[in-house]
Amino acid sequence: MNVRTETAFDSATRVVAADDGTNYDNVAVALHWATALLVVTQFALAETWDWFAKPTQNSMQGLHMSFGVVLTLVIVARLVWRLMPGHQVSSLEIGWVRVAAKSVHYLLYGLLVVAVALGFAVQWSRGHPVNLFGLGIPGPFGPFARPVRGLLKELHNYVAWAIIIIAAGHAAAALYHHYVLKDRVLKRMLPGYGEHGR
């Protein structure tokens, strides 16, 4: 543990890293890293598919939707796991740091839910099924007018960027804790650590 007194900057990075003082079990850890990997893959696919010829572009978009469905299941699993009795560990933080750290959790979860919901809406608004590795998931609504489709895609894009920017700050803060403050913030989100205490 670090022996120096925590500065306001240290607290701020704790907040951005979403540290609210709980210990993460291995299921939570696995779901966190699956989420991170899938979100980055989703973004990388979407930002690069324009560089490729149409057939490759179509497969990349198919993959984006398939991984998107998997990501949706991972997020639902994480939220259910987190809400289940016995999975809430009381926070070590107090006061505004605790409130702010929780806010970062909720903001990330909120944006993730909105991003995946908009992803489905973008595809269904075109009157097309969502592709799950070749299987089509039909939408509950028919095609929408072109401006509505455009708006949904634009919103999906903005929310995706917001997640990436916040997650980058969040990751940087976690690395600051690990390498500079040398505390347990990152370690307890790594496999095998969470259930064994501090």
Q: State the residue number with the nearest CB to ligand HEM.
A: 119
42: its two tokens? 């989703």
Question: Does residue 100 belong to the site contacting ligand HEM (CB under 6 A)?
Answer: no
Question: Does residue 69 belong to the site contacting ligand HEM (CB under 6 A)?
Answer: yes
Contact present, 63 and 85 (Cβ < 8 Å): no
Cβ within 8 Å of residue 46, ≥6 positions away: 64, 157, 160
Minimum gap (Å) between residue 4 Cβ and ligand HEM: 19
What is the rounded distance in angstroms from the CA atom of residue 66 to the CA atom of residue 48? 17
Closer residue to ligand HEM, CB minimum distance, 7 or 150: 150
Counting residues that bind ligand HEM (by CB under 6 A) gives: 45
Minimum gap (Å) between residue 51 Cβ and ligand HEM: 13
What is the rounded distance in angstroms from the CA atom of residue 118 to the CA atom of residue 20? 29
Alpha-carbon distances of 114 from 40, 122, 137, 158, 159, rounded to whole Å: 16, 12, 19, 11, 7
Residue labelled with tokens 């979403």: 18
Closer residue to ligand HEM, CB minimum distance, 3 or 50: 50
Q: Enter the DSSP assignment of 18.
A: T
Nearest 10 degrees: CA dihedral of 107, 183, 173, 22?
0
Question: Does residue 130 belong to the site contacting ligand HEM (CB under 6 A)?
Answer: yes
Residue range at the interface with ligand HEM (CB under 6 A); choices 3-11, 84-92, 101-109, 140-148: 101-109
What is the rounded distance in angstroms from the CA atom of residue 128 to the CA atom of residue 125? 7
Question: Does residue 74 belong to the site contacting ligand HEM (CB under 6 A)?
Answer: no
* Residue ranges in contact with ligand HEM by CB under 6 A: 17-20, 32, 35-36, 39-40, 42-43, 46, 61, 64-65, 68-69, 71-72, 82, 105, 108-109, 112, 115-116, 119-120, 122-123, 130, 153, 156-157, 160, 163, 167, 170-171, 174-175, 185-186, 188-189
